[in-house]
Structure 1
Amino acid sequence: MNQSILFPDLQDWDTQTQSVVFPVQVQGANIECRISLNKLVSLAAAPMAGDDGDKAAKALALFEEYRFDIEEEVEELIEQETFDELGRVVLL
């Protein structure tokens, strides 16, 4: 793992975009990262059901379960400088 890329243990559920939002620090700069609910479900290979509150808890649990894989993918995208128009890394 690249030591200049750090993943703080901070994540939150964004109901509007149906994604988990989490920061990454790259050489001291913070970059916003997002992983969609669809991407989390595909990582888990399991359907997601429930209301929004339930969905948030399940999505955050899936994020924790697959954190290492997500961080590796984000790290690769950062190294390739693959950012969206707002300077974020987004996994769909």
Structure 2
Amino acid sequence: MNQSILFPDLQEWNEELQEIHFPAQVQGANIECRISLARLVKLEGKEVQSQQEALKVFDAYRFDIEDEVEMLIEQEEFDEQGRVVLI
């Protein structure tokens, strides 16, 4: 793991967008990261019915999600707002 990319234990569910938002810290700068409900369902292999379930799935796959986000940050694969988004 690249020690210059840190993932604080902060995440929140966005009901309107149906995704989890979480930060990555890269050399002191915060990068907003997002993962969609559809991506969480794909990881879990079954429907995710509630905010609590979504956060539970996120926690269960956290290291895999962080590895993918880390790779995208290193490749500078940001959206137009400078975020990393897993759809």
TM-score class, shorter: over 0.9
Query: What TM-score results when the alignment is normalised by the length of structure 1?
Result: 0.92
1:5 aligned partner: 5
Q: Give the letter aligned to residue 64 of structure 1.
A: D
Question: Which of 56, 73, 83 is matched with 2:51 structurally?
Answer: 56
Q: Between the two proteins, what is the percent identity of the paired residues?
A: 64
> Quick one: which amino acid aligns to residue 9 of structure 2?
D
TM-score by length of 2: 0.98
Distance across 1 between alignment mates of 2:48 and 2:10: 22
Q: Which runs of 5+ in 2 are unaligned?
A: none
Cα RMSD after superposing both structures: 0.6
Match of 2:67 in 1: 72
Distance 1:5 1:89 in 2: 13
Distance 1:81 1:42 in 2: 24
